[in-house]
Amino acid sequence: MKALGIDVGSLTTKAVVLGGDGIVASTVSMSSDEAEDSARSALEQVLNRAGIGMADDLCIVATGVGRKAVSFSQQQKATTTCLARGTHFLFPTARMVIDMGAETSTVLKMNQRGRVEDWAGQDKCAAGSGIFLQQMARLMQMSLEEMSELSLQATSRASITSTCAVFAESEVISHVHREPPTPREEIIAGIYYSVVSRIMALCKRVGVEKDVAVAGGVSLSNGVVRTLETELGFGALVPEQPQIVSALGAAVLAGEMAGQVVK
Amino acid sequence: MIFAGIDIGSRAAKAVVMENGTVVSSVICDTGPESVKTSYMAIEQALEGTGLSLEDIAYTVATGYGRVLVPFANENISEISCHARGINWYFPSVRTILDMGGQDCKGISCDGGGRVVNFVMNDKCAGGTGRFLEMIAEVLGLSLEEIGELSLSSEKAVPFNTICAVFARSEAITYLKKGMAKRDILAGLHEAIATRSVQLLKRVSIREEFSITGGIAKNRGMVAKLREKVGLEPLLCEDPQIVGALGAALFAAERGGGAGGKEAKVQYGYSDGTGEYFVTIDNGRCDGCGECVAACPHGVLEMAEDGSGGLKARVKDEVRKRLALVCPGFESCGRNEVNCHSACHQDAIGHTW
């Protein structure tokens, strides 16, 4: 019996296979327009990587915005539940997780058993989301990795006052074309600060509690995590693969469902 | 005398030149990166062909978000006041205005004198602004002028559950890939924006009559959706985009024309710790019929000579210092069958309370 978690996100689909000794295999692939297709190709990929077939006894739990469309899953679980369980699996001491996804940001508090206690989310608007960051990278004509690296050189940050991603874009353009132009690392520092200040607003709503872990694709950016840590005033727990945390949580739940005791 | 109003918006600059209470010329041009240059360009274009020059203008009022950067302006007035004033010139019965501009959206509640009673604005988010529509038009490969018309031909709007311009764009791309008709996507987006605008309007309260100003008011698809959501037939003026500049020009005429001028409005009253108590009489409108004097249940008004042989209404000298004690204000007196506002067919009287 293998436990499998699939997280169909707005930008990427994540899949994790969990065995008795921990993570067997994981994949991250781009979501297509149809959630069902995304989930199916993620399933094939991850099974391939784990070296098991569809015929093997599988228990599948789906999560993420597209979870309803995953017809082959035994159960669909809320993203918050999976996020908490996945974080708890990786960091048992974590009481809070900050998930920064492509279109959604979630700040969640959990108890020592990895059960959700309180959370606040933001999915109405692109401000502070991964899409926002991606759009800014396109504007700066840099990759997200390059941006993150360059940001570490910044000694001060450019002010970006707009909340809206569309208006912030115009602000960044005016920074670039200013005479003399604002240094790129300062602009990036300003962009990161604007992302983090949206996250901090969510943190205030639930109240910060240690230890704090991060999750979601945005946490792949060192620069963002560093800015977040500065604002929090302490270090955060960063998973090796921050994108798969929710899928991992789903796999943990699938394991429990199948009666397999994992950790 | 010549007066000018200039409105430097986020996307377009508008200028209106007025003489003796009529519009001589008006112009709309794109806002450039330098507001100072843009303002000269707008006024020069507006003066072109009129035989007038900048020196002929007696007084200029600037408005819009670039208003502080108009070097030849005598005064700056907020665009909210200007829109209320401008729409009042066309339709004195309008009490609720939705101004949909390039980068913001405002709900304005005004009184019969074109004064702002209350307003709310969204300038934090691109949802429901001209910028949003521009982005969508770009994605669909259409011009801004086409999208409104096309949305009208839709029979089944695709529901959009986001108002965020960034998310809506990616949602639109997804629908487009799925082969959905552009007109249906547009209808859904127009609907989402209209719903959002109505929420904004509700915060200032929706009262009859209703008007839409700003560049988006030229989008027939949007107007149709708003008519449906608000439940009122909007009064649209000839060019809704120049209303702010027109209001500025009207203010210019009032400020620059001096008291007793044709456009002059006279205010009587005072403000104290409990509020503002002003009665405004628009001498440009008042035809001296005297019906308001007869209508006022509290005997506040009287007729007096205006210096050029005509009669104008005014507040009696003896009540000016205790106006709030004598006149209950339009909010309560307005419920009486007869009051000065209902008696005046010129809509020349306004109350601040």
Cis peptide before A180 (omega within 30 of 0): yes
Distance of CA B306 to CAs B91, B251, B262, B266, B268, Å?
26, 21, 11, 12, 15
Nearest CA in chain B to A123: B162
Nearest to A163 among B124, B135, B162 (CB): B124
Query: Chain B within 8 Å of A167 (Cβ-Cβ)?
Result: yes
Number of Cβ within a 10 Å radius of residue B135: 18
Q: Closest approach of chain B CAs to the CA of A7, in angstroms? A: 20
Mutate one of B167, B170, B171, B178 to test the A interface: name it (highest A CB count within 10 A).
B167
Residues of B in contact with A167 (CB under 8 A): 103, 126
Residue of B157, B161, B150 whose CA lies nearest to B180: B157
Percent of chain A beyond pLDDT 70? 98
Give the pLDDT confidence score for residue A55 in this predicted structure: 65
ipTM reported for the complex, 2 dp: 0.78
Scanning A174-233 for CB atoms below 8 A from B yields: none
- Distance CA(B181)–CA(B165), nearest Å, equals 20
- In DSSP terms, which residues pair with B108 in a beta bridge? B97, B119
Mean pLDDT value of segment B159-168: 86
- Distance CA(B31)–CA(B42), nearest Å, equals 9
Cβ distance A131 to B162 less than 8 Å, yes or no, reads no
Q: Where are the alpha helices (DSSP H) in A26-164?
A: 35-50, 79-90, 130-140, 144-151
pTM: 0.71
Mean pLDDT value of segment B296-314: 81
Residues of B in contact with A124 (CB under 8 A): 162-164
Nearest to B166 among A33, A135, A163 (CB): A135
Mean pLDDT value of segment A116-134: 90
- 3-state percent helix, strand, coil for chain A, nearest multiple of 5: 45, 20, 35
Cβ distance A162 to B124 less than 8 Å, yes or no, reads yes
Residues of A in contact with B103 (CB under 8 A): 167
- Distance CA(B100)–CA(B228), nearest Å, equals 17
Nearest to B177 among A33, A126, A165 (CB): A33
Mutate one of B138, B166, B178 to test the A interface: name it (highest A CB count within 10 A).
B166
Mean pLDDT value of segment B91-101: 93
Q: Pairing mode, if any, of strands B2-8 and B57-63? A: parallel
Q: How confident is the model at residue B264 (pLDDT cuts 50, 70, 90)?
A: low
Mutate one of A167, A177, A178 to test the B interface: name it (highest B CB count within 10 A).
A167
Q: Closest approach of chain A CAs to the CA of B68, in angstroms? A: 19
Q: Which tokens go with A45?
A: 């990929």
Mean pLDDT value of segment B16-32: 90
Q: Closest approach of chain A CAs to the CA of B2, in angstroms? A: 37
pLDDT tens-place string over residues A10-62: 889 999 999 888 888 999 999 888 888 899 999 999 988 988 877 667 889 99
* pLDDT over 60 at A94, yes or no: yes
Cβ distance A163 to B125 less than 8 Å, yes or no, reads yes
Residue with tokens 């009559």, as numbered in its chain: B209
Q: Which residues of B touch A (CB under 8 A)?
A: 103, 124-127, 131-132, 135, 162-167, 170, 174, 177-178
Q: What is the mean pLDDT of chain A?
A: 90
Q: Which tokens go with B285?
A: 């409108």
pLDDT tens-place string over residues A227-256: 999 999 999 999 999 999 999 999 999 988
Give the pLDDT confidence score for residue B262 in this predicted structure: 45
Give the pLDDT confidence score for residue A173 in this predicted structure: 87
Q: Pairing mode, if any, of strands B57-63 and B75-76? A: parallel
- Distance CA(A246)–CA(A25), nearest Å, equals 14
Higher pLDDT, A164 or A1: A164
Residues of A in contact with B131 (CB under 8 A): 166
**Rounded to 5 degrees, what are φ and ψ at B297?**
-70, -10
- Distance CA(A109)–CA(A96), nearest Å, equals 4
Number of Cβ within a 10 Å radius of residue A104: 19
Cβ distance B166 to A162 less than 8 Å, yes or no, reads no
Cβ distance B167 to A131 less than 8 Å, yes or no, reads yes
Nearest CA in chain B to A167: B126
Query: Chain B within 8 Å of A124 (Cβ-Cβ)?
Result: yes
User: Three-state secondary structure along chain B?
Assistant: CEEEEEEECCCEEEEEEEECCEEEEEEEEECCCCHHHHHHHHHHHHHCCCCCCHHHEEEEEEECCCHHHCCCCCEECCHHHHHHHHHHHHCCCCCEEEEECCCCEEEEEECCCCCEEEEEEECCCCCCCHHHHHHHHHHHCCCHHHHHHHHHCCCCCCCCCCCCHHHHHHHHHHHHHCCCCHHHHHHHHHHHHHHHHHHHHHHHCCCCCEEEECHHHHCHHHHHHHHHHHCCCEECCCCHHHHHHHHHHHHHHHHHCCCCCCCCEEEEEEEECCEEEEEEEECCCCCCCCHHHHHCCCCCEEEEECCCCCEEEEECHHHHHHHHHHCCCHHHHCCCCCCHHHHCCCCCEEECC
Cβ distance B124 to A165 less than 8 Å, yes or no, reads no
pLDDT tens-place string over residues A204-216: 999 999 899 999 9
Higher pLDDT, A7 or B284: A7
Mean pLDDT value of segment A195-224: 92
Residues of A in contact with B165 (CB under 8 A): 126, 164-166
Cβ distance A165 to B132 less than 8 Å, yes or no, reads no
